Structure 1
Amino acid sequence: MTHIHFIVNPIAGTGNHGFSETFLQDYFDKDQYNLTVKCSSYKGHAIHLTKESINQQAHIIVACGGDGTINEVASTLVNSNIPLGIIPVGSGNGLASNLKISQNVKKAIAVIKNNQQTKIDVGCVNEHYFFSNTGFGFSASVIKNYEALQKRTLFCYMQASLKSLKEFHKKEGISIEINELEILVNPFLIFISNSNEMGYNLSLTPKASLQDGLLDVIIVPKLNKLKMLLFGVSLLLKKPEFLKEVKCFQTKALKLSSKNTDFFESQMDGEMLKIHDTSVSISLKEKSLLVIF
């Protein structure tokens, strides 16, 4: 008997996905599977529910939601032998897309039943894990404004992006240590990715891989309006290196330091995170999460 626990965000995406044991039982033979469904009700709740499922000796734990829910469940499963299943019903669904997991619920369930497993790399910012990407500067501002809109749609994401462009103030005195180089920048954007998609089929790191043991890093300085427009076009074309001002790196680790503030605002897998420290260490844990794909 295979015990599968589903951690569900009931308001992810449209909020109309209707996950329940009754719904899922139509897809899983009662003689082969024992199903448990748990619904999260606040930010961070999925972490508690996943820990509970680990203690209850679940064989598979499935995150049903968007990138935020997936991050909470996956973070709890790092370095464990319990595989992560994903039913993507959020807005961006960057990690699921990278793993070629369909947003069609029936097809995603079929992937879980097939139970093909692999191990992927995991990014780490101080003590916080990320699986798709993390970002500072403009990237963090967009997510901050996106969350304030309370709706997760591509249109709202574009609204948040435009608002962030209007509000943007460059950060002075940010030092980046990467590949034995120290770079002092006033960044528009620092973007670190473990996967080749951000969600909505957009990518700043099209060559990134979940299994290459490297993080892909994009550093963008403050640009004039014309070059900002060109940068937007390069994002749509998935060619971030189009502008010479944009610096691209691959690395196993990097460090950000600030002389002027005692905190960093970041986004991590599409969720806002404020880090109360004058420096941030970003590293990679190779093949430390077991996933079903």
Structure 2
Amino acid sequence: MSERAPSTVSASGLRTTFIVNPIAGPVSTRAARRQRIDDFVRRHRIDARIELSRYGGHAYELAAAAVVEGAQLIVSVGGDGTLNEVASALVDTGVIYGMIPTGSGNGLGRDLGLALGFDRALETLLDGCVREIDTGVANSLSFFNVMGLGLDAEIGRRFNLSRRRGFLTYLRLGASAVIGYRPQRLAIESDSGTRLELDAILVTVANSTQYGNNARIAPLAKLDDGRLDLVVLDTRSLWAAPRLVLRLFTGSMHRSGHVHTLSGTRFVIRRAAPGPIHTDGEVHDCGETIEVSVRPRSLRVAVPRDQSGRA
């Protein structure tokens, strides 16, 4: 385990590694991104290395190596996939995780109150605080924002294959995925003994409140309460889709009669056949049983000072 980093963040006094996904974010900004980081490092005399991820899983490898080499602050520059890989390598290490979001949704960044502008997000690394947040684990795969299966995972699969990014693309693919989608019969158990058996359109287990773009699937979720929020949409949800979309963006999803919600530290989800799940938007093939649990306050994240004590 690395030497425990301080509770305040000032990159100018910390051994820092930036891990950059060179193909994340708008094409128009990619070329200048590396130069802006170089300028930031030089201007503030930061002891920093800048690494570029080259393939799936490479960001995780780079972050894990940086931990071993003594980095105190490791910063991901990219979308949710880069976030997931880098943060997964930092769980329970004490190393501070910094995030410069350049993706299309940025659900975790929004829930943490991070600045979404590139230069403003960099400034948080100079004068921020540390917030300890929970980590979700689904069949040994870490997630920090949300994981899901059913329609949730199918939309994620289509989005990852699409050349177009952005919120409108996500909505378009979501609408097309609904057509012809067949619900799954699921049995869900929580650590409290609650059991659900139903035909479900999708299941989301949330650490934060939202998917991204302020689409709040689990409005009552908290990043540091040692619990996860499970949200299930049953087959009746298709008939209520327009109202559910409205609830998604008004923070009232949990009040719908078409939505089942559970809060707990562990869930077991069983389905009839193997299939995909997603963790922070990254799609994986999994078996019939998915075990989801929480590791309380296991990741130290750099946030603006006014967000450090947020419950």
| TM-based fold match above 0.5 | yes
| 1:155-201 deviation digits (Å, cap 9, x = unpaired) | 210111011111310113x2101220222111111111000121111
Indicate yes or no: 2:152 matched with 1:139: yes
Indicate yes or no: 2:291 matched with 1:278: no
Residue of structure 2 aligned with 1:78, choices 91, 95, 98: 91
Within-5 A mapping of 1:35-184? 35-172=48-185, 174-178=186-190, 179-184=192-197
Aligned residues between the structures: 288
Counterpart Cα distance in 2 of 1:117 and 1:241: 30
For residue 13 of structure 1, give the secondary structure of its aligned residue in structure 2.
coil
Q: Give the superposed CA RMSD.
A: 1.7
Partner of 1:26: 39
Percent of residue pairs identical: 26
Q: Structure 1 stretch 24-33 or stretch 85-94: which is displaced more?
A: 24-33
Q: Gapped runs of 5+ residues in structure 2?
A: 1-12, 304-311
Q: Gapped runs of 5+ residues in structure 1?
A: none
> What is the TM-score when the length of structure 2 is the normalising length?
0.88
For residue 129 of structure 1, give the secondary structure of its aligned residue in structure 2.
strand
| 1:245-286 deviation digits (Å, cap 9, x = unpaired) | 31112111110112x21x2311211121211x2211101000
| 1:125-156 deviation digits (Å, cap 9, x = unpaired) | 01000000011111111111111212221121
User: 1:181 and 1:203, CA in 2 relative to 1: closer, same or farther beyond 3 A?
Assistant: same
Shift in Å at residue 55 of structure 1?
Answer: 2.3
Decide whether the 8 Å contact of 1:12 with 1:91 is kept in 2.
no
Counterpart Cα distance in 1 of 2:36 and 2:153: 37
> What is the TM-score when the length of structure 1 is the normalising length?
0.93
Indicate yes or no: 2:298 matched with 1:288: yes
Q: Structure 1 stretch 50-59 or stretch 202-211: which is displaced more?
A: 50-59
Q: Structure 1 stretch 106-115 or stretch 237-246: which is displaced more?
A: 237-246
- Which amino acid is the alignment partner of residue 265 of structure 1? P
Indicate yes or no: 2:282 matched with 1:266: no
| 1:79-101 deviation digits (Å, cap 9, x = unpaired) | 00110001011111111111111
List structure 1 runs of 4+ shifted beyond 6 angstroms. Answer: none
Indicate yes or no: 2:232 matched with 1:222: no
